[in-house]
Amino acid sequence: MRVDAHLHVWRAAEAEAPGVQTIVPPQTDVPIELASETMLENQINRAVLVQPVFRGEDNSYVAQCARAEPARFAAVCVVDPRVPNADERLTHWIGQGCRGLRLRPRIATEAAVFGDPSTYPLWELAQRQGIVVSVLASPEHAAAIGELAERFPGVPILIDHMGHPAVAEGAGGQGFQDLLRLAKYPRMFIKASGFYHFSRERFPYADCWDLIRAVHDRFGPQRLVWGSDFPHVLLASGYRRSMALPEQALGAWSADDRDLIMGINASKLYWPGP
């Protein structure tokens, strides 16, 4: 089983998307067919479709793609926690087939409300419905993530892109140590993805290897999840090289570790059951 836990698809934006700068711009069409072909070429069995930033709460495309092939695709929706009745809108998207929710404190306009009691209904609903909460965060958000994990212990929390660590500080940096301390929460997972967003080097991002090893050691292979960050990875390093990165960083990992990180962990999160 191979699962890409962080893959984006979208229909091209018809106009400018203010404030959104990505490697593959919003004006480029990234259809599910392209993702499916890439998965087939690289022997990927399943993928988690993460709602792109510029689409806001219009999760219709990722939800539609996941509904069409639910055994192959799972959708992660976005609901703006600043807007009243966010839990009702999440209920709608769960009804449309979404199995995950993405919160984004790394986006300045959403940071102030992250962890605020006004957002608790979203977390309560996620806990009742078995929804995975992905968090697009920076190191300074670790404390708030921990408080939410304490309050909602039944919610699986998956931190995107290893929490965007400050690579220059190394594994001993305060922010990264705060991230590692989150390992005490048994439903906390880390996503090994998007290294080109924070590495100071080109592939194979060797300045991140100590960080990957530290996460692996602290969280264990059972809570480390690989994701490609498609389509951006196509221009940043290439899809197949992205797949090889965890093994390069970890060195002599076991076959069991490889299977967990590259597929089984994500499959259990988004396709629970027999």
Residue-level pLDDT at 99: 98
CATH assignment of 3-270? Answer: 3.20.20.140
**Model confidence over 165-217: pLDDT tens digits?**
999 999 999 999 999 999 999 999 999 999 999 999 999 999 999 999 999 99
Which amino acid, one-letter code, is at 147?
A: E
**Contact by Cβ (8 Å): 132, 99:** yes
Average pLDDT, the chain: 95
Sequence ranges of the domains in the chain: 3-270
Global pTM? Answer: 0.95
pLDDT tens digit string along 233-261? Answer: 999 999 999 999 999 999 878 899 999 99
Please tell me the distance from the alpha carbon of residue 51 to that of residue 99, in angstroms, as a whole number: 12
Condensed to tens digits (0 to 9), the pLDDT of residues 213-229 reads 999 999 999 999 999 99
pLDDT recorded at residue 13: 84
Q: Which one is predicted more confidently, 22 or 16?
A: 22
Long-range contacts, 79-83 (Cβ 8 Å, 24+): 79/122, 80/56, 80/110, 81/110, 81/113, 81/114, 81/116, 81/118, 81/119, 81/122, 82/109, 82/110, 82/113
Condensed to tens digits (0 to 9), the pLDDT of residues 26-67 reads: 889 999 999 999 999 999 999 999 999 988 899 999 999 999
Average pLDDT over residues 77-91: 95
